[in-house]
């Protein structure tokens, strides 16, 4: 199986969840509302978006992490960082099981408090994961800087979107954080998978000579 198709499936499921879900929510704002508000309890089509939007993205993302594990060059602490990335699909699955209240407030129902705790743990865990990926063996100094910079951008945008003074832009800030980090991770996965497949073809060609 060409594992790159799994990357395409992850991207497609994310876009369907994000933009398809928004089409079902009257008045939903990508600029001012969190992604989890697509699934907010008591709002139109919340369960539909949760189970057919959040869950497929979570499952496909976790499947990609497992499928790509044999071809990524992580060792030691960088391998720990790689598996800590599972916190992202777990968070999306958790959002389906423990949806936020309307407006995603800092305090609210039991489901909201679970949701908030999961969000904080996920953002911190992902930050640690990105920093640990900078210790991947045999990568360039530039890529080490890129991984650390991604962690800094991720944390900075998380802090900004939690600032009440920036509440009108919190949706945009969250999306910028995810698009930056998810884009980097998916591009890296594509490169690793392509390199492994090209290497395999070269080996087969050598054996035929």
- pLDDT tens for each residue of 33-79: 999 999 999 999 999 999 999 999 999 999 999 999 999 999 999 99
- Predicted confidence at residue 98, as pLDDT, reads 95
Whether 167 is in a domain gets the answer yes
| Each residue's pLDDT tens digit, 2-38 | 789 999 999 999 999 999 999 999 899 999 999 999 9
For residue 135, the enclosing domain spans 4-198
- Predicted confidence at residue 196, as pLDDT, reads 84
Whether 113 is in a domain gets the answer yes
Whether 28 is in a domain gets the answer yes
Whether 46 is in a domain gets the answer yes
Whether 122 is in a domain gets the answer yes
Q: CA-CA distance, 144 to 130, in Å (whole number)?
A: 10
Whether 205 is in a domain gets the answer no
Q: How far is CA 30 from CA 35, 38, 41, 159, 205, in A?
A: 8, 10, 18, 18, 49
| Tally of domains in the chain | 1
- Enter the pTM of the model: 0.91
- Measured at the CA of 36, the angle between CA 56 and CA 78, to 5 degrees, comes to 65
Q: What is the mean pLDDT of residues 187-208?
A: 71
Whether 93 is in a domain gets the answer yes
Whether 17 is in a domain gets the answer yes
Provide the pLDDT confidence category of residue 129 given band limits of 50, 70 and 90. Answer: very high
Given a contact cutoff of 8 angstroms between Cβ atoms, the answer to whether 55 and 93 are in contact is: yes
**Quick one: what percent of the chain has pLDDT higher than 70?**
94
């Amino acid at each position: 199986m060409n594992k790159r198709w799994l990357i395409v499936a992850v991207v497609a499921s994310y876009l369907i969840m994000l933009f398809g879900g928004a089409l079902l929510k009257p008045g939903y704002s990508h600029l001012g509302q969190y992604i989890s508000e697509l699934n907010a309890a008591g709002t139109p089509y919340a369960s539909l978006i949760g189970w057919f939007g959040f869950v497929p993205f979570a499952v496909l993302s976790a499947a990609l992490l497992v499928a790509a594990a044999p071809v990524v060059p992580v060792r030691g602490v960088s391998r720990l960082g790689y598996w800590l990335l599972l916190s992202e699909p777990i968070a999306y699955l958790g959002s389906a099981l423990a949806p936020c209240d309307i407006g995603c407030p800092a305090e609210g129902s039991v489901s909201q408090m679970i949701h908030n705790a999961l969000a904080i743990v996920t953002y911190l865990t992902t930050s640690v994961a990105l920093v640990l990926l900078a210790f991947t063996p045999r990568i360039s100094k530039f890529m080490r800087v890129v991984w650390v910079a991604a962690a800094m951008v991720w944390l900075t945008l998380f802090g900004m979107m939690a600032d009440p003074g920036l509440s009108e832009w919190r949706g945009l800030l969250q999306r910028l954080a995810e698009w930056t980090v998810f884009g980097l991770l998916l591009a890296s996965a594509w490169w690793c998978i392509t390199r492994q497949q090209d290497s395999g073809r070269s080996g087969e060609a050598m054996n035929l000579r």
